[in-house]
Amino acid sequence: MREVRRRPRGEALAAYGFIAPNVALLGLFVLVPLVGAFVVSLQRTDGFGDGEFVGLANYGRLVTDPVFWRALATTAGFTVVVTAASMALGLAMAVLLNSVLPARGLFRSVLILPMAVSGVATALIGVLVFDQNNGILDKLLGAVGLPEVNWQSEPVPAFATIVLVTIWWRTGFNMLIYLAGLQGIGPDLHEAARLDGANGWQRFRNVTLPLLGPSSYFLVVLNVIYSFQVFDIVFVLTGGGPQGATNVLVTYAYDTGFVTRDQGYAAAIGMVLLLLAVVFAVVQWRASRTRDLVE
């Protein structure tokens, strides 16, 4: 059949036409700026007029910048905690909603509702709930006899607020993916395990969890990428404070580029972000070459 279906050159030409709008937009507004960002990272510039070429000086500054290292550590901590917690909670909710339960559809709609709420609105609701003078949460804590927490002025509670708000925002998505994964597991496997005498936990541990591997893999990748890029929540909820305790790499890059206008240095921070993202993507890709995500 191969010879009969000789591909005329027209097919390739048509294909380039079809992809042209997409490729042009991605090229002009993502790839060209990416090259541009590298060039800017070699300059000292405030964004007005021409920059001054300084070689790798911006990268040298990074090494000795304690704010950068702290933001890197905060980003890593945030990523690990949010990914683990929202996946675990998402899985628990998915298992719950995959069982016989009244009003399952309604519960599902409610749990994924935060996905429709903008990051800014989510963060502002967070400001409202965690306000340490007049906030509802501290009042609730007080009402049940627990001590009030200084959510805004102490570093650890402030970090906890961005984590909690993000988990509230993201768990529904994780649940949805796990739910789809669970619905792909036939009941016969559980039946067989039950006949072999496996109890509920053993069936979950040895049947369900391994079969959810592809979903888990997909979720680790997406959660890590999203956590890395967390901006709206931190920017609006804490602004990186108190005293830089919730400053992550993207908010640091934004402040450096558009508030203090040290744009060469901001671009260098961006390059580190890019490097981390690429390293993560490559590691994940190698770890799962047998499990091709793109099909």
Partner 1 sequence: MSKALRFGAALLAALVILAPLYWMVVVAFSSRRELLGGDLRVWPRQFTLENVERVFSSFPVVAWFGNSLAISLVVALLSVTTSLLAGYAFAHLRFRGSNALFFVALGTLVLPIQVIMVSLFRIVTGLGLYGTYWAVILPTAASAFGLFLARQFLLGIPRELVEAARLDGAGHLRVFRSVVLPLSKPLVAVLFFMSLLQSWNDFAWPLIALRDNALYTLPIGLLYLQGQFGSDYGATMAFALVNVVPMVVVFLVFQRYFVAGLTRSGIR
Q: Which is nearer to partner 1, 6 or 55 (CB)?
A: 6
Angstrom CA distances, 195 to 19, 183, 190, 207, stand at: 53, 21, 9, 13
Q: Which residues, 249 to 278, sit near partner 1 by CB under 8 A?
A: 249-250, 253-254, 257-258, 263, 266-267, 270-271, 273-274, 277-278
Q: Which is nearer to partner 1, 62 or 253 (CB)?
A: 253
Total residues in contact with partner 1, by rule CB under 8 A: 102
Beta bridge mates, 53: 43
Task: By CB under 8 A, name the one of 172, 238, 246, 247 that touches partner 1.
Answer: 172
* Residue 164 and residue 156 in contact, taking contact as beta carbons nearer than 8 Å: no
> Nearest distance from residue 256's CB to partner 1, in Å?
9
Is residue 15 involved in binding partner 1 (CB under 8 A)?
A: yes
Handedness of CA 267, 271, 272, 277 (dihedral sign): positive
Q: Which helix (H) or strand (E) holds 199?
A: none
Residue 100's identity, in one-letter code, is V
Task: By CB under 8 A, name the one of 56, 140, 146, 283 that touches partner 1.
Answer: 140
Is residue 240 involved in binding partner 1 (CB under 8 A)?
A: no
Q: Which is nearer to partner 1, 159 or 235 (CB)?
A: 235
Beta strands in 7-138 (DSSP E): 43-44, 52-53
Q: Which residues, 75 to 134, sit near partner 1 by CB under 8 A?
A: 93, 96-97, 99-102, 107, 109-121, 124-129, 131, 134
Q: Which is nearer to partner 1, 93 or 162 (CB)?
A: 93
Q: Which helix (H) or strand (E) holds 34?
A: helix 32-40
Tokens 């790839």 label which residue? 31
Question: Does a cis peptide bond (omega within 30 degrees of 0) precede residue 242?
Answer: yes
Angstrom CA distances, 112 to 105, 169, 228, stand at: 11, 9, 22
Segment contacting partner 1 by CB under 8 A, of 66-74, 153-161, 177-185, 203-211: 177-185
Is residue 21 involved in binding partner 1 (CB under 8 A)?
A: yes
Q: Which is nearer to partner 1, 162 or 267 (CB)?
A: 267
Task: By CB under 8 A, name the one of 176, 208, 223, 240 that touches partner 1.
Answer: 176
CA 230 – CA 251 distance, rounded (Å): 8
Q: Which is nearer to partner 1, 193 or 220 (CB)?
A: 220
Q: Which residues, 190 to 229, sit near partner 1 by CB under 8 A?
A: 200, 214-215, 218-219, 225, 228-229
* Residue 167 and residue 157 in contact, taking contact as beta carbons nearer than 8 Å: no
Contacts of 258 (CB under 8 A, 6+ apart): 266
Is residue 173 involved in binding partner 1 (CB under 8 A)?
A: yes
Q: Which residues, 22 to 41, sit near partner 1 by CB under 8 A?
A: 22-23, 25-26, 28-37, 39-40
Q: Nearest to residue 112, comparing CAs of 183, 171, 181, 163?
A: 171
Q: Which is nearer to partner 1, 159 or 169 (CB)?
A: 169
